[in-house]
Amino acid sequence: MSKNLVIVESPAKGKTIEKYLGKDYTVKSSFGHIRDLPKKGLNIDIENGFEPNYEVPSDKSKTISELRKAAKSADTVWLASDEDREGEAIAWHLCQALKLDEKKAKRIVFHEITKQAIEHAVANPRTVNMALVNAQQARRILDRLVGYELSPVLWKKVRPGLSAGRVQSVAVRLTVEREREVKAFAPQLVFKVTATFLADSSELPAELTTRFTEEESAKDFLKACQLATFSVKSIEKKPGTRSPGAPFTTSSLQQEAARKLGYSVKQTMTLAQRLYESGHITYMRTDSTTLSGFAIKAAEEFIKKQYGDKYHQVRQYKTKNQSAQEAHEAIRPTSFAKLSAGNDAQQEKLYQLIWRRTLASQMAPATVDKTEIIISPSNRSETFVAKGEVLKFDGFFKVYGGTKDDVILPNIKHGQEIALGEMIATQTFSKPPARYSEASLVRKLEELGIGRPSTYAPTISTIQARGYVEKLDLEGTERSIKSLKLKTGKITELLATEVTGADRGKLVPTALAEVTTDFLVRHFSSIVDYNFTAHVEEDFDHIAEGKQEWQKMIKAFYQDFKPLIQQSESVTREETSQSRELGLDPKTSKLIVVRFGRYGPMLQRGVTESEEKPDFAPLPTGVDMNDVTLEQALEMFKLPRIVGKTDDGEEIKANIGRFGPYIQIGKLYVSIKPHDPMKITEDEAREFYAKKLQQEAEKNISEFPSGIKVLNGPYGPYVTDGKKNARIAKSVDPKSLTEEQAKEMLEKAPDKPRRFKKRKHKK
């Protein structure tokens, strides 16, 4: 074993570092966190200063053994986890798990994996920074307290299996409140007037600076213009500039990658992690926009050599977030000479985005000549404005943002009379607030000071995985648009249609999100309060700076939090179900209500207090529980609907279940998405049934007398006895397997993990 052992989190990062260190260094990986709070139980000693009970997970035992052995034979152990609080905590946990002397173990940090950065880190080691470790511990412990004590409340009052979290619950609340803003929005109608004037055989497009709220007002204006002459009231020319944006932080990279490349937040972070570990970019979890002196100098040399001196301008951006921490530099390429990098097309595109944005930040602004022409009719006070812009110097557009198309206006003079080509007054509607996309939700969380760069991607993934939010493409609806057109002295009416509300990749909250958010706002307002969540982040910053003790911070939080848990015990499930009476069933005289049930929104006919059991029905497809009417509810109680019969005479029933619309034939259930069970025809149902039978036939390869089956699964053929599964190697023909071979495979296969485990709670 070599004299020096370097421990990093990931093997990929280790391989890159190993290239820059000599033969006296061995690099090994901890494969992420080496110790953590156990998954079962609270494991926080509340009575004794909130002391955490950490453990080494069973899947890390082998890693620990190998690292201990390597550490014993090394003269020096170097802890090279990431340069952030989480990385600092990993370094400390390594000291604890490997029983290292913290004063002898050398902590090295770097925000890029280059030879220069690694050599500088080795030459300037330090010890583990316990202030940073404590900040991370405080975050972990507070989030465990919230999740462990609040989640069971949701299980009892809303639905089993739910989770709550300090950041995730706030993110869900944001989407719920935005959705309600969208639904409550009443569009305002206005008429926008545009015109095309003729000057020296050239067209001059312009827009009226006034909007008309009524059709009659717009028509009166066009009538006046029938008799008007038009002249140039003023011409203003002035230079303008376009300046580049700051280098990327974690959140701005996520937003720009979504806008320009269509990447999800999670996808962007995965690709950036790989680029960082391969040594192509600096550390990708940062809220700083500053660049090192080395990077600024390197950018200057590259720009002057490639584009010339006039394209260069030194800039050092100030980080807007004053509590910015983690890595101390923006995300940038480790070398501007590396024009392309990455192991696949997606990595290459993201690298190019980072390279261009960083280089552009050190380039001269683009300059433009702006022209604004004001045109007035002779008999009205309103004015038209025509705007033009000509790019004079492309500056940073050379590498980022593309070139702006010139809008060149005709050469006309002040006071000149110009002719009207045509004028159109078009009905337009004000737009509701935009639903959040992944990127815009990240931006909002950052604006509110909620979470940190490392939390955005997992938070957004979690709220989707938990069923609180769905990422949807919205189709929109058609509406009529009226226009009034003035041409050659005549006014004509035009009708057209437009699609409103269509959008792609928007985060739409589910009914579960609304019920859960309302419950938390009512009974745990402090936990989902935006200011509280941001204030907690400030407390973590103070702990990281050594200005605050983490135990005191957690104690102050818990003293306010625990009484809320106790008070919530008195809340009834009926109160959280958001039950709403729709009316009486005219046939049975039973009350029909809509409420949130165990598996989501549902309709109920009858009351639970009566001797007769209530009837239940699903909501109509695409109808919100807040909008469903009695008439719609009555139709749903007609389900299941008999659609017809199969060739064998079996009834085909159509219905809606937990997973959407389906048909049932005997014990076989077949999804019919996106068909409506109230409208699907017998022929359509038979077609679904035939396809399902074909799939089932292709699924079953063979079956043995013992009950063991050879089946085709989504991941390839496998053997099963109903309790255990065993994959079949690609080199083996599944059709040729004997019963004995199948039994042998099952004996060697591991047991199926239990999907749901009983939780034991401390009393």
Active site members: 283
Which of 302, 285, 570 is CA-nearest to residue 442? 285
Residue 122 — φ and ψ, nearest 5°? Answer: -65, -35
46/559 Cα distance (integer angstroms):
11
Q: Residue 580 — φ and ψ, nearest 5°?
A: -135, 125
Query: Which secondary-structure segment (H or E) carries 63?
Result: helix 61-73
Beta bridge pairs of residue 161: none
Which value, to the nearest 10 degrees, does the dihedral of the CA atoms of residues 148, 153, 158, 161 take? 30
**Encoded amino acid at 720, one letter:** T
What strand order describes the sheet that includes 709-713?
700-703, 709-713, 716-720, 725-727
Closest among 695, 621, 714 to 687, alpha carbons compared: 695
Q: What is the 3-state secondary structure (H, E, C) of 435-464?
A: CCCHHHHHHHHHHCCCCCHHHHHHHHHHHH
The answer to whether the peptide bond before residue 674 is cis (omega within 30 degrees of 0) is yes
Backbone angles phi, psi at 271, to 5 degrees: -65, -40
Please give the DSSP secondary-structure letter assigned to residue 69.
H
Helices 130-157 and 530-544 pack at an angle, to 10 degrees, of: 150
CA 104 to chain CA centroid, nearest Å = 42
- Rounded to 5°, the CA angle 205-211-214 comes to 125
Copy the structure tokens of residue 735.
């059709």
DSSP annotation of 369: E
Can you tell me the distance from the alpha carbon of 509 to that of 678, in angstroms, rounded to the nearest whole number?
26
Instruction: Work out the number of other CB atoms within 10 angstroms of the CB of residue 11.
Output: 12
Radius of gyration of the chain (CA): 33
Amino acid at 723: K
CA 39 to chain centre: 25
First to last CA, the chain: 50
Q: Which of 341, 331, 393, 337 is nearest to 367 (CA)?
A: 393
Helices (H), ranges, 314-375:
345-360
- Separate counts of helices (H) and strands (E) for the chain: 20, 28
In whole angstroms, give the CA distance from residue 684 to residue 680: 6
What count of other Cβ atoms lies within 10 Å of the Cβ of residue 190? 18
Identify the H or E element spanning 484.
Answer: strand 477-487
Contact of 428 with 275, CB cutoff 8 Å: no
Q: What is the distance between the alpha carbons of residues 179 and 181, in angstroms, rounded to a whole number?
A: 5
